[in-house]
Amino acid sequence: MYSYGVDAYTVVVLAAPKEDRRRFMLHAHDAGMTTGDYVFYTVDMLPDEEVIDPESVWKGNDGRDVEAKEAFECVFHVSNVWAKNSLGVRG
Protein backbone atom coordinates (compact mmCIF):
# COMPACT_ATOMS: atom_id res chain seq x y z
CA MET A 1 0.00 0.00 0.00
CA TYR A 2 1.23 3.48 -0.83
CA SER A 3 0.09 6.70 0.73
CA TYR A 4 0.34 10.26 -0.41
CA GLY A 5 -0.86 12.89 2.00
CA VAL A 6 -4.02 11.57 3.61
CA ASP A 7 -5.01 9.35 0.68
CA ALA A 8 -3.91 5.72 0.53
CA TYR A 9 -4.24 3.25 -2.30
CA THR A 10 -3.21 -0.29 -3.16
CA VAL A 11 -1.55 -1.24 -6.43
CA VAL A 12 -2.56 -4.55 -8.04
CA VAL A 13 -0.61 -5.92 -11.03
CA LEU A 14 -2.39 -8.51 -13.18
CA ALA A 15 -0.21 -10.61 -15.46
CA ALA A 16 -2.83 -13.03 -16.74
CA PRO A 17 -4.67 -13.86 -19.97
CA LYS A 18 -7.19 -11.27 -21.14
CA GLU A 19 -10.22 -13.40 -20.23
CA ASP A 20 -8.93 -13.91 -16.67
CA ARG A 21 -8.26 -10.18 -16.26
CA ARG A 22 -11.84 -9.38 -17.24
CA ARG A 23 -13.18 -11.95 -14.79
CA PHE A 24 -10.90 -10.61 -12.03
CA MET A 25 -11.92 -7.01 -12.69
CA LEU A 26 -15.61 -7.92 -12.59
CA HIS A 27 -15.05 -9.58 -9.20
CA ALA A 28 -13.13 -6.49 -8.04
CA HIS A 29 -16.00 -4.28 -9.26
CA ASP A 30 -18.54 -6.45 -7.42
CA ALA A 31 -16.42 -6.19 -4.25
CA GLY A 32 -16.31 -2.38 -4.48
CA MET A 33 -12.58 -2.30 -5.27
CA THR A 34 -12.92 -0.04 -8.34
CA THR A 35 -13.95 3.14 -6.54
CA GLY A 36 -10.46 4.64 -6.17
CA ASP A 37 -8.77 2.84 -3.27
CA TYR A 38 -7.11 0.37 -5.65
CA VAL A 39 -5.08 0.97 -8.80
CA PHE A 40 -4.79 -1.89 -11.27
CA TYR A 41 -2.13 -2.54 -13.90
CA THR A 42 -2.48 -5.21 -16.56
CA VAL A 43 0.60 -6.39 -18.42
CA ASP A 44 0.95 -8.00 -21.86
CA MET A 45 4.44 -9.19 -22.70
CA LEU A 46 3.47 -10.90 -25.97
CA PRO A 47 0.09 -9.41 -26.87
CA ASP A 48 -2.03 -10.49 -29.77
CA GLU A 49 -3.16 -8.00 -32.41
CA GLU A 50 -6.59 -7.31 -30.93
CA VAL A 51 -5.22 -6.12 -27.57
CA ILE A 52 -4.49 -2.82 -29.32
CA ASP A 53 -8.29 -2.32 -29.57
CA PRO A 54 -9.21 -0.87 -26.14
CA GLU A 55 -12.73 -2.33 -26.23
CA SER A 56 -11.43 -5.88 -26.68
CA VAL A 57 -9.99 -5.76 -23.16
CA TRP A 58 -13.33 -5.32 -21.37
CA LYS A 59 -15.95 -6.61 -23.85
CA GLY A 60 -17.36 -10.09 -23.32
CA ASN A 61 -20.44 -12.12 -24.10
CA ASP A 62 -21.92 -12.48 -20.61
CA GLY A 63 -24.17 -9.41 -20.52
CA ARG A 64 -21.84 -7.53 -18.13
CA ASP A 65 -20.12 -5.18 -20.56
CA VAL A 66 -21.38 -2.07 -18.72
CA GLU A 67 -19.90 -3.27 -15.42
CA ALA A 68 -16.70 -4.45 -17.10
CA LYS A 69 -16.21 -1.08 -18.81
CA GLU A 70 -16.68 0.68 -15.46
CA ALA A 71 -14.23 -1.71 -13.78
CA PHE A 72 -11.55 -1.13 -16.42
CA GLU A 73 -11.71 2.65 -15.94
CA CYS A 74 -9.26 2.21 -13.03
CA VAL A 75 -6.84 0.01 -15.01
CA PHE A 76 -3.56 1.06 -16.56
CA HIS A 77 -2.63 -1.29 -19.40
CA VAL A 78 1.03 -1.90 -20.23
CA SER A 79 1.83 -3.68 -23.48
CA ASN A 80 5.03 -4.66 -25.25
CA VAL A 81 3.83 -3.61 -28.72
CA TRP A 82 5.76 -1.80 -31.39
CA ALA A 83 5.20 -0.95 -35.00
CA LYS A 84 6.98 -3.08 -37.58
CA ASN A 85 8.96 -0.06 -38.77
CA SER A 86 10.05 0.95 -35.27
CA LEU A 87 13.13 -1.25 -35.65
CA GLY A 88 14.15 0.52 -38.82
CA VAL A 89 12.71 -2.20 -41.09
CA ARG A 90 11.48 -0.78 -44.35
CA GLY A 91 8.22 -2.20 -45.56
Handedness of CA 21, 25, 26, 30 (dihedral sign): positive
CA dist 22 and 18 (Å) reads: 6
Q: Are 32 and 5 in contact (CB under 8 A)?
A: no
CATH of 7-87, one of 3.40.50.2300, 3.40.640.10, 1.20.120.1200, 3.40.930.10: 3.40.50.2300
Nearest to 42 by CA among 84, 82, 65, 74: 74
Mean pLDDT of the chain: 79
| H helix runs in 18-76, sequence order | 18-30, 54-58, 65-71
Q: Report the pLDDT value the prediction gives residue 55, as an integer from 0 to 100.
A: 79
pLDDT in tens, 10-47: 899 998 888 899 999 999 999 999 998 899 998 877 65
Model pTM score: 0.73
